[in-house]
Amino acid sequence: MHGLWLYLHFPKLQMDTLYHQQDLQRPVVIVDAAVNAVVQYNTQAYQAGIRKGMGLGHASALCQSLQVIPYSPDITHKTLLDVAQWLYLVTGDICPFQPDGLLLRIHTMLSLYGGLEGYWHALNSHLQSLRLHYHYATGPTPQAARLLARYGWDQRHQDADVHQRALATVPLSNTDLERKTIHSLARVGVKRLGDLMALPLNELAQRYDHTLVTYLGRIKGSFQQPVSFYQPSERFERYLELLYDIEDINALLVPVAQLLGQLSHFLKLRDQLSEEITLVLHHRDAEPQTVIVRSAVGEYRLTAWQTLCRLKLETLTLEAPVYGLTLKGGHAYIRQPDKQDLFSGQQGALSCLQLVSQLQARLGEDAVFQILPGDDPRPEYATVQHAPLRPMQLKAPVSDHMALLRPSLLLTPPKPLTHKVTLLHGPERIATGWWDNQAVIRDYFVGCNGRGEWLWLFRTPQQQWFIHGLFS
């Protein structure tokens, strides 16, 4: 097989994403806690003597002012796919090698760019804008390219001999071979790939399992490397340029409906539902405005999304005239048949979920919540606000005989007690909450006043009395 492959190795993917966010003058390392080893570092850390694979203790002994960031496979994973998506604009066949490499099949691209140099120029300048650290190498096989790139060869050639010579110098410790195999080979003096490739394959097969032979075969090209190419994601995203600038919200509803129709069509074709869409309003002279519209229940119908969008947009003030719209579909999933039946007890035309969706669209995401009992002993913190209608883990209910006496109405803030009461029950002392600096010390009582009201009272250490609640 006479192919040509290019491999891009990104050794500091997570570090590079940080670089954009903040100007890092301090030494920074990224540590994989699972193996307690430094996996990435910046220049300052390198200058302090920190190297890949060091333990955190060793690294911090070398450098006092070290900033440590935990390694995140998610960030790396996502960034790699972003890079792939970006490169997809200039090159066709991309295969991501998680967590830090991209393999490109380039012999199919060379004629388009007029040869290797032209291709590399286009690719490299396109890649530069991402400001990532990378090593690269060409190779006759995917494995050869990967190996050379990870070794930091940083060269491109079409000549097979050049590749062979380069490969021969690579130390085995830089290969993907198992540590055990590398160690065992070193003990017979085989330390570089050249030494290894010089050994007859049958001799190796008598001593090592097939992974070594397969690996070597893939480097040489005698075995095929299975490669699966990247496909851009099938997510709905459409841009609509308006014919004229729109300043009135109501006038926007028409083009929005047009986009929603496309979305609805898109979802219907795939038999999918979406719970969220994002509408970006592009302004002529200002930053674009983003509107997120959610539906508590997955939806694909044009009418439903139209209603939600109308409600959402009614609360919106346009910051500037709009010249274009982008609609992005959120997470979409396959539609399940509705479970509505005669006996589900639903009343009215709207389901709870639909009602919540409409309320949220009108009042704002955070304005609708559900109150649940928490377990903080301080009355002020005894209820928690929870997203509506989402299942939550309820603690085992307290058995009746251990339930505490609590009023249904709580006064916030508590009112000073100004009239005579008769104490009927208590005290219950609550003295806790030191951890968040909202400590309370109070003695709670149940009392009854002249008007027959049952009050929940407390006394402070300064002997001041307050009404904190009313029993029904």
Partner 1 sequence: MAVSYSPATMVYPRVVQLIHVTVFFMQYAELFCQSNFSFLKGASHPEELMRQAHFLGYRALAITDECSVAGVVRAYTEQRDQQLAVQLIVGSLLCMDDLQCVVLCPDRQAYTELCRVITQARRRADKGSYRLDLWDWRTLRHCFLLWLPSLQPERDAHWGRWLSQHHRQRLWIGFTRWLDGHDAQRQRAVEALSAHWDLPVCACGGVLFHHPERQPLQHIMTAISHKQPVDQLGEALITNTERSLRSREKLATLFPDRWLQASVDIARRCQFSLDELRYEYPAELIPPGHTPRSYLRTLVEAGVQQRFPEGLTQNIRDIIEKELRLIHEQNYEYFFLTIHDIVQFAKSQHILYQGRGSAANSVVCYCLEITAVDPRQINVLFERFISKERNEPPDIDVDFEHERREEVIQYIYRKYGRERTALAATVICYRFKSALRDVGKALGLAETQLDYFIKHINRRDRGLDWQTQITELGLDPDSHRGLQFIQRVNELMGFPRHLSQHVGGFVISAGPLYHLVPVENAAMPERTVIQWDKDDLESLGLLKVDVLALGMLTAIRKAFDLIEQHQQRVLQIADITRQDDDPDVYAMIQRADTVGVFQIESRAQMSMLPRLKPACYYDLVVQIAIVRPGPIQGDMVHPYLKRRDGLEAVEYPSKDVEQVLSRTMGVPIFQEQVIQLAMVAAGFSGGEADQLRRAMASWKKNGQLMQFKHKLIDGMRQRGYSEAFAERLFNQILGFGEYGFPESHSASFAVLAYVSSWLKCHYPVAFYVALLNSWPMGFYAPAQLIQDARRHDITVLPVCVNQSDWDHQWVEHEQQQAIRLGLRLVKGVSESAMKQLTVQRPKVGFKDVAQLQQVGLSREQLEALASANALHTVHDNRYAARWALMDTTSTLPLFKQQHQLFLFDNAPEPMADMLEDYAATTVSLKHHPIRLLREQGMLPKHICASTLHQHPAQTVVTVCGMVIGRQAPGTAGGVTFVTLEDDTGNINVIVWKATARAQKQAFLNSRLLMVRGILERGDGGVTHIVAGKLERLDHLADGLAGKSRDFH
Residues that bind partner 1 (CB under 8 A): 31, 33, 48-49, 56-58, 60-64, 68, 70, 184, 186-190, 195, 198-199, 203, 206-207, 374-377, 395, 398, 401-402, 404-405, 425, 427-432, 434-437, 443-444
User: Measured from the CB of residue 187, what is the shortest distance to partner 1 in angstroms?
Assistant: 5
For 343, how many CA atoms within 13 A lie in the half-sphere containing its CB? Answer: 0
Strands 5-9 and 332-334: unpaired
Residue closer to partner 1, measured from CB, 60 or 124: 60
User: Measured from the CB of residue 182, what is the shortest distance to partner 1 in angstroms?
Assistant: 12
CA-nearest of 165, 135, 160 to 150 is: 135
Residue closer to partner 1, measured from CB, 187 or 419: 187
User: Measured from the CB of residue 460, what is the shortest distance to partner 1 in angstroms?
Assistant: 14
C-alpha distance from residue 429 to each of 371, 445, 470 (Å): 25, 9, 18
User: Measured from the CB of residue 383, what is the shortest distance to partner 1 in angstroms?
Assistant: 12
User: Measured from the CB of residue 210, what is the shortest distance to partner 1 in angstroms?
Assistant: 12
Residue closer to partner 1, measured from CB, 47 or 303: 47
Residue 7 phi, psi (nearest 5): -120, 135
Residue pair 26/9 in contact (Cβ under 8 Å)? The answer is no
Query: What gap in Å lies between CA 97 and CA 50, rounded to an integer?
Result: 26
Residue closer to partner 1, measured from CB, 202 or 340: 202
Residue closer to partner 1, measured from CB, 58 or 335: 58
Q: Give every CB contact of residue 397 below 8 A, 6+ residues apart in sequence.
A: none
Cβ-count burial 37-58 (b if 16+ within 10 Å, e if not): bbbbbbebbeebebeeebebee
User: Measured from the CB of residue 384, what is the shortest distance to partner 1 in angstroms?
Assistant: 10
User: Measured from the CB of residue 359, what is the shortest distance to partner 1 in angstroms?
Assistant: 29
E strand or H helix at 95 = strand 93-97
User: Measured from the CB of residue 405, what is the shortest distance to partner 1 in angstroms?
Assistant: 7
E strand or H helix at 43 = helix 43-47
Residue closer to partner 1, measured from CB, 74 or 375: 375
Residue closer to partner 1, measured from CB, 51 or 331: 51
User: Measured from the CB of residue 431, what is the shortest distance to partner 1 in angstroms?
Assistant: 4
E strand or H helix at 73 = helix 73-87
Residue closer to partner 1, measured from CB, 70 or 261: 70
Residue closer to partner 1, measured from CB, 257 or 440: 440
Residue indicated by tokens 């400001």 = 131
Where does residue 356 rank: exposed (0-12), middle (13-18), buried (19+ CB within 10 A)?
buried
Residue ranges of the alpha helices (H) in 241-326? 249-270, 302-314
C-alpha distance from residue 9 to each of 27, 111, 155, 286 (Å): 23, 24, 13, 38
The three-class DSSP label of residue 298 is: strand
Instruction: Kindly state the tokens that stand for 418.
Output: 């100004």
Residue closer to partner 1, measured from CB, 49 or 261: 49
User: Measured from the CB of residue 69, what is the shortest distance to partner 1 in angstroms?
Assistant: 8
Residue closer to partner 1, measured from CB, 188 or 254: 188
CA-nearest of 427, 331, 434, 447 to 378 is: 434
Residue pair 470/406 in contact (Cβ under 8 Å)? The answer is no
User: Measured from the CB of residue 168, what is the shortest distance to partner 1 in angstroms?
Assistant: 13
Cβ-count burial 386-421 (b if 16+ within 10 Å, e if not): eebeeeeeeeeeeeeeeeeeebeeeeeebeebeeeb
Residue pair 457/466 in contact (Cβ under 8 Å)? The answer is yes
